[in-house]
Amino acid sequence: MDVVLVDDHQLVRSGIRRLLDDAHDIEVTGEAASGEAALQLVRDKRPDVVLMDVSMPGIGGLEATRKLLRIVPALKIIALTIHGDEPYPSRLMEAGAMGYITKGCDEEEIIGAIRTVCRGERYVGAEIAHQMALASFDGTRGGGLGKLSQREIQVMIMVTQGRKVQEISDILCISPKTVSTYRYRLHEKLGVESDVELTHLALRHGMIDQMP
């Protein structure tokens, strides 16, 4: 998987490049310090994934995301930023980004996010998913969705995307038994009896895309 890094800080780009060098299936093929530079770089390199900072001089990450997807509609863009609070995540996802993680995440999460979006699936960090959920509904609506923990929301999103227990276990670095425990808690807290009902609930509240 070819990846381009877009961030106006050289130190940040260098740090991410070093992290990704350890992944055998990921290669950083270019770097850009602005949204404008990213446009030309993507035209030249045609990467699979762009790790995009949100706050940059010039057109910024949001507008750069929109413009890049006009150039390469199949491009997978992951917002990697310090802004974990709304409305940043929702705006980037609405613009077409496939993932959103904060710069405070660890190496495994960055690599996992890249691999996930390359499979055509969305990836949202646990803390950000929690913020997006709380912004969508309060604790009195949505069958108690607003009362879920960050980890519970992350597991819920993965379950409703059709991921298997072992796959969720591998991504989150927790045991399959722990994943099953989270699923049980979700069913109990939300008053649903199956993953199908859980998926319908997530669809109603915009937590996942409409199924084909």
Over the stretch 160-187, which tens digit does the pLDDT of each residue have?
878 889 988 888 888 999 999 999 988 8
pLDDT tens string 46-96: 999 999 988 777 777 888 898 999 999 999 999 887 755 545 577 777 888
> Which residues face 101 on adjacent strands?
80
What separation in angstroms does the CA of 148 have from each of 110, 130, 158?
A: 24, 8, 15
Q: In what order do the strands lie in the sheet with 76-81?
A: 27-32, 2-6, 49-52, 76-81, 99-102, 123-124
CA dihedral angle for residue 161, residue 163, residue 168, residue 169, rounded to 10 degrees: 160
Walk me through the domains of the chain, giving residue ranges and CATH numbers: 2-124 (3.40.50.2300), 129-204 (1.10.10.10)
Which tokens hold the place of 131? Answer: 């913020």
Is residue 138 very low, low, confident or very high in pLDDT (cuts 50, 70, 90)?
A: very low
Q: CA-to-CA distance for 190 and 133, rounded, in angstroms? A: 14
pLDDT tens string 12-27: 899 999 989 888 999 9
